[in-house]
Amino acid sequence: MGGLLITIDGPAGSGKSSVARAVAERLGVVNLNTGAAYRAVALLALRDGVSFDDATRLARLARTVDLDPEGVKIDGRPVPDPELRTPEVSAAASKISAHPELREVLLTVQRRAAEIARGRGGAVVEGRDIGTVVLPDADLKIFLSAAPEERARRRAVQSGREGELDRIRRAIETRDRQDSEREVSPLRPASDAVVLDTTGLTLDGAISKVLELAHETRSRA
């Protein structure tokens, strides 16, 4: 018997990462950020000058990436978070994530990480297609959304780039389009997901709501 698996999917700036981190901490389970694996491949592609259209080489790069409860690794070495969070890496991660060949490699990586975490008591796994594709049998699926202007505002405040609100909003809209319109594993709520619009919610409000759902799920299990 393993622990509870909770998936949190949603677009950039919906509050996914902050909510997933806090909920995992409060429940005493692992937090897996699957976007970090896509970002690690993007970082490698930028570093090695690999074209974002070259699915075969991108899939090969993905084979050097691993995800575990401690974070993402390239060739067994941890990747510092700031390197994964630049605007260039964000844009590249969204572009390359359209390739099925690359997604297939990372699917195995993500499932293995979730299995390890489940064995350690459970996990909150966040991404875009966790409830629909990666862990369709998860115990609780959450889909967080928020209006694009609000998501851009949060990103600008988070990164101390309030003066660049317009640029950030455009980048978010481009990523939304790419993530939702790709043919393989597009961003969309699973049919059995709880959809939570966080536009008018504080971070604490969103965390409480998800914790409430998690406790309900646990008491039913």
Tell me: does residue 38 bind ligand DC (CB under 6 A): yes
Whichever of 39 and 169 has its CB closer to ligand DC, that residue is 39
Whichever of 129 and 150 has its CB closer to ligand DC, that residue is 129
Please say whether the beta carbons of 190 and 139 come within 8 A: no
The encoded tokens of residue 70 equal 């401690």
With CB under 6 A as the contact rule, which of the stretches 49-57, 127-135, 151-159, 163-171 interacts with ligand DC?
A: 127-135
Tell me: does residue 151 bind ligand DC (CB under 6 A): no
Single out the residue of 8, 12, 142, 144 in contact with ligand DC (rule: CB under 6 A): 12
Tell me: does residue 97 bind ligand DC (CB under 6 A): yes
Task: Using CB atoms within 10 Å of the CB of residue 193, give its burial: 0 to 12 exposed, 13 to 18 middle, 19+ buried.
Answer: buried
Interaction pattern, residues 53-92, with ligand DC; x per rule: CB under 6 A? ----------------------------------------
Q: Smallest distance, Å, CB 10 to ligand DC?
A: 9
Whichever of 118 and 175 has its CB closer to ligand DC, that residue is 175
Tell me: does residue 129 bind ligand DC (CB under 6 A): yes
Residue type, 118: R
Q: Smallest distance, Å, CB 120 to ligand DC?
A: 21
Nearest to 143 by CA among 50, 209, 88: 209
Whichever of 27 and 89 has its CB closer to ligand DC, that residue is 89
- State the Cα–Cα distance between residues 196 and 188, nearest whole angstrom: 13
Kindly calculate the radius of gyration of the chain based on its CA atoms and give it in whole angstroms: 17
Whichever of 101 and 218 has its CB closer to ligand DC, that residue is 101
Whichever of 108 and 221 has its CB closer to ligand DC, that residue is 108
Q: Which residues bind ligand DC (CB under 6 A)?
A: 12, 34-35, 38-39, 93-94, 97, 127-130, 175, 179
